[in-house]
């Protein structure tokens, strides 16, 4: 069974006062120890963010309450670009795919392309860099490992796992609705903050201007 999760990248230190400092990964080589320290500091900041896994700053948007969402918006450095993050795929109790560097909420369009694509050839899916490749085979969608080589330059792509296309499409419909709902929550909070063009800003932040 797979699950898709909408996640945005959050660094709790961005929402902290000057007296708070998050642990550096270099100071805690054991990921579990670093993650425990991260949660300890985040808890002290009253940031009830649920990260998707250890050694990650990606947060499931469904776990962000209105109080913390308002704080995120107040501290946002740029209201003209989509939040960093994207869609996470989990399966068999582990993360299969997660957004990479420079990935953002607009990448939902890349997932939509899977279902629009009529070929069985390998195609590139931008989730940040490194990215991944996918292809459709007999009702299944196969995914490659992460790569920083362009599709036209890579040879002999090997699938590392596959999922049922119908199941994936069902999960995608869910995250699409979650993303739209989160956009609407942002709109409501921006209006409460007396921000002009709240609808347009929320659509930019969630990267859903062109979701069908």
Cβ atoms within 10 Å of 76's Cβ, excluding its own: 13
CA proximity to 112, closest of 86, 144, 85? 86
pLDDT score recorded for residue 34? 72
The pLDDT of residue 130: 97
Which helix (H) or strand (E) segment holds residue 6: the answer is: strand 2-9
Task: Tell me what pLDDT residue 31 has.
Answer: 74
Instruction: Give the helix/strand (H/E) hosting 159.
Output: strand 159-164
Question: Which pLDDT score, from 0 to 100, does residue 104 have?
Answer: 96
Torsion sign over Cα 60, 62, 63, 67: positive
| pLDDT of the residue at 165 | 98
How does residue 20 score in pLDDT terms, banded at 50, 70 and 90? low
Q: Is 141 exposed, middle or buried (0-12, 13-18, 19+ CB in 10 A)?
A: buried
pTM: 0.85
Please answer whether residues 188 and 195 qualify as being in contact, where contact means their C-beta atoms are separated by less than 8 angstroms. no
Position 150 confidence tier, pLDDT thresholds 50, 70, 90: very high
Query: What is the pLDDT, as a whole number, of residue 33?
Result: 75
Predicted local distance difference test score (pLDDT) of residue 38: 66
For residue 21, what pLDDT is reported?
Answer: 61
**Arithmetic mean of pLDDT, 104-112:** 96
Closest among 117, 208, 91, 103 to 146, alpha carbons compared: 103
Cross-strand bridge partners of residue 6: 87
User: CA nearest 109: which of 205, 180, 210, 203?
Assistant: 210
What pLDDT does residue 19 have? Answer: 54
Tell which wins on pLDDT, 166 or 77. 166
């Amino acid at each position: 069974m797979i699950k898709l999760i909408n996640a945005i990248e959050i660094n709790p230190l961005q929402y902290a006062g000057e007296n708070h400092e998050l642990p550096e990964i270099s100071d805690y080589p054991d990921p579990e120890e670093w993650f425990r320290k991260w949660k300890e500091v985040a808890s002290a900041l009253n940031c009830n963010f649920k990260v998707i896994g250890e050694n990650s700053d990606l947060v499931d948007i469904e776990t962000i309450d209105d109080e913390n969402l308002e704080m995120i918006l107040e501290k946002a450095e740029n209201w003209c670009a989509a939040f960093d993050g994207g869609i996470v795929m989990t399966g068999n109790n582990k993360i299969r795919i997660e957004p990479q560097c420079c990935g953002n909420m607009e990448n939902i369009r890349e997932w939509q392309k899977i279902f629009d694509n009529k070929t069985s050839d390998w195609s590139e899916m931008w989730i940040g860099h490194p990215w991944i490749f996918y292809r459709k085979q007999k009702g299944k969608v196969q995914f490659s490992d992460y790569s920083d080589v362009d599709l036209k330059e890579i040879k002999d792509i090997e699938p590392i796992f596959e999922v049922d296309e119908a199941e994936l499409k069902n999960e995608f419909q869910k995250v699409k609705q979650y993303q739209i709902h989160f956009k609407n929550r942002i709109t409501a909070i921006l209006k409460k903050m007396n921000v002009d063009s709240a609808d347009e800003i929320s659509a930019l932040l969630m990267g859903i201007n062109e979701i069908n």
